[in-house]
Structure 1
Amino acid sequence: MKLLSWNVNGMRAVLGKGFGDFVSAEQPDILCLQETKARPEQVPMPPELDGYHAFWNSAQKPGYSGVAVFTRSEPIEVQEGMGFEDHDKEGRVLTLEYPDFILVNVYTPNSQDGLRRLPYRMEWDEVFRQHLMTQALKKPVIFCGDLNVAHQEIDLARPKDNRMSAGFSDEERAGFGKLLDSGFTDSFRHLHPETRDAYSWWSYRGGARGRNVGWRIDYFGLSTPLVDRLKSAEILPHVMGSDHCPVSITLA
């Protein structure tokens, strides 16, 4: 079973940048998207997604945030948000239950320049962690998406220059560590513990992507019972169309 996750930075924009070819080439069983910036009725679906069940959680604010999941197998149940009004207005979480696991697609809030949104971000992190732990009481969990944090220094090109920047503050890194310590595994680091220069996001400024000056902020996390089923965890930097690239896992 192949799962893909991609922050597309605008679903309508990425459709004109080879999105259909990407789906055809990868043939995912489940495709999770973040930062869709649209409602489903605003998006002309490409034929490559025929045969997929589509689920969306869009922000109340037009053209902002949002997540979507396209899945070949119909889930048993789908939940939009986490059940907290204060945290569910921006369309950042979709939870899908399948027979033997629960999938959570997430677009974590950015703490923004000057860390001005850091207090909200830390509150969000705890609510999201509790959401994952609650789901894990039912079945093993796969979570994926743009977590907006580089966990360790190996996960970004210039850790010293970015200390206490949004996405690399001590608080955000500790929050992600706490999430993993709650019974989850970073799939990429599990299989590639020493791999460097492996990034999933690059600034549009200064030719960062061409020089591979990036950050790894897009993840697949697994409940411990699923780790033995993990066959591959990859980053796909060759896929263009967004400031992020897709990440994938394959499970037995």
Structure 2
Amino acid sequence: MKRFFQVVEKDTSSKRVKSNGEKEANVGSGKEPLVFMSWNANSLLLRLKKNRTELADFIQQLDPDVIAIQEVRIPAAGCKGGMKNQGEVKDDTSSSREEKQILMRAISSPPFSNYHVWWSLGEAKYGGTALFLKHHFQPLKLTFSLDQTSPALKHETDGRVIVAEFESFRLVNTYVPNNGWKDDENGFKRRRKWDQRMLDFVLQVSDKPLIWCGDLNVSHNDIDVSHPEFFGNAKMAGYTPPNEEDCGQPGFTIGERRRFSTILSHSSASKRNWSTYSFIHSIKRNRLYSKKAEDLVYVHSNLQLFTHKESGYKEVGCQAREYRLGCFHCPQTCGSLHKESGYKEVGSHAREYRLGCFHCPLCCT
């Protein structure tokens, strides 16, 4: 989905961010990115092996300025049991060297070669994020932690964060920990700590507008899931959480939804929040089917939808598009729609880029 985001251009001098995790990145080119794509790849290497052509066509057609990727599932450089370099790809074994060669060959070819890439990787084939930015855009600063007072080279555990600061805004790419089903260190407790740190982060960076993208592992409104009652009552067999606010499907518990709403209310990104599922419902509710739905414009201030034939279209200035990838991870994406009666009405006109993935790339401008 594409969405309008106004960025004020400024004339500034240009100095390049030289390397992944450089401590101080100086003033950028003056022109700033406008088109953003966010995608949980569930193994970027696997997508490049099996669906490189489809993915390349998708990126070529969309032509995003920024591609934020989560769950790249590429291990960080470093020996087993030793220190890891989370900004570099592992290549100290024959299998990891082979995988790195495949990866580098792919991203060295168009359209990926049009981008500079920064990595924040985990110790194993789990988690990890990547940020692809067109070469002619230069961030002022890049960091890899929610703690903006920590050294710039410090990465989050499992490579969950990349923050890029530009003249007019900041962009944060996050792979948020799953809440899990139990009140333990890898479940509820971990997620509560993350949410508190995320709240601290948005308060630290409130001096500029924030674009927050990634796999946020939360659906904080009923409209964001297909069956709210079902997900609200979901539970793990043989286990009942000690607190009522932790009951339900991970990502849809009362506690997670409340904390996420608190984060948004304190964030400069709060007025720009949206979800794919509510967008689809808006299409149905306004009966904007077939070709008419291809020219929708999403207006974040009042959630109105316009077609290109309406007067409001020119005032807003861009289209909204939805790319259907046959995904299943989030109930609010389009994986189930192709089996439903409304699919032909809502989605048959939409381009279907089937990458065999678990998550939808979402786009906004």
The alignment's TM-score, normalised by the length of structure 2, stands at 0.55
Deviation at 1:157, TM superposition (A): 0.8
Tell me what 1:222 maps to.
Answer: none
Partner SS for 2:231: coil
Question: Amino acid of the residue matched to residue 89 of structure 1?
Answer: T
Change (3 A) 1:5 1:204: closer
> Aligned in 2, Cα 1:109/1:177: closer, same or farther, shift over 3 Å?
same
Relative to structure 1, the CA distance from residue 150 to residue 186 in structure 2 (aligned partners, 3 Å threshold; closer, same or farther) is farther
* Equivalent residue for 1:36, pick from 67, 72, 75: 72
Task: Report if aligned partners of 2:120, 2:155 keep a CA contact under 8 Å in 1.
Answer: no
Identify the residue that residue 148 of structure 1 maps to in structure 2.
Answer: 217
Aligned to 2:253: 169
State whether structure 2 residue 197 is matched by structure 1 residue 127. yes
Please give the residue correspondences for 1:1-252 in structure 2 after superposition, counting only pairs within 5 Å.
1-15=34-48, 16-17=50-51, 18-38=54-74, 39=76, 41=89, 42=100, 43-44=103-104, 45-46=106-107, 47=109, 48-59=111-122, 61-72=123-134, 73-83=137-147, 88-114=156-182, 116=184, 117-137=187-207, 139-163=208-232, 164-183=248-267, 184-188=270-274, 192=279, 195=282, 202-203=328-329, 209-211=335-337, 238-241=352-355, 242-250=357-365
Q: Secondary structure at the match of 2:72?
A: coil
| CA RMSD, Structure 1 to Structure 2 (Å) | 3.1
* Cα distance in 2 between the residues matched to 1:87 and 1:58: 8
Q: Return closer, same or farther for 1:204/1:133 CA change in 2, 3 Å cut-off.
A: closer
How many Å separate the matches in 1 of 2:155 and 2:257? 20
Any conservation in 2 of the 1:114–1:166 contact (CA below 8 Å)?
no
Q: Distance in 1 between matches of 2:127 and 2:65?
A: 24
Amino acid at match of 1:141: L
Which digits, 9 at most, give the CA deviation of each residue in 1:184-210, with x for residues without a partner? 234326x959627899962499xx824
Separation (CA, whole Å) in 2 of partners of 1:130 and 1:23: 34
Which structure 1 segments of 5+ residues have no match? Answer: 214-235
Compute the displacement of 1:112 (Å). 1.8
| Distance of 1:11 and 1:27 partners within structure 2 | 18
Aligned to 1:223: none
| Contact in 2 for aligned 1:53/1:74 (Cα 8 Å) | no
More strand by share: 1
Letter in 2 for 1:66: G
Hey, what's the Cα distance between the residues in 2 that align with 1:64 and 1:211? 29
CA distance in 2: counterparts of 1:130 and 1:204, whole angstroms: 27
Stretch of structure 1 that moved more, 156-165 or 32-41? 32-41
8 Å CA contact 1:114, 1:165 repeated in 2: no
Percent of aligned pairs with the same residue? 26
Native 8 Å contact 1:67 1:92 kept in 2: yes
* Cα deviation, residue 240, structure 1: 2.8
Distance 1:186 1:238 in 2: 26
Structure 2 distance, partners of 1:108, 1:194, is 26
Distance 2:181 2:43 in 1: 21
The one-letter amino acid paired with 2:273 is S
On the 8 A contact 1:237/1:245 being kept in 2, the answer is: no
Equivalence for 2:296? none
Structure 2 unaligned segments of length 5 or more: list them.
1-33, 77-87, 90-99, 233-247, 285-321, 340-349
Shift of the 169–212 alpha-carbon distance from structure 1 to 2, 3 Å rule, reads farther
Aligned length: 223
TM-score, normalised to structure 1, is 0.78
Shift in Å at residue 131 of structure 1? Answer: 1.0
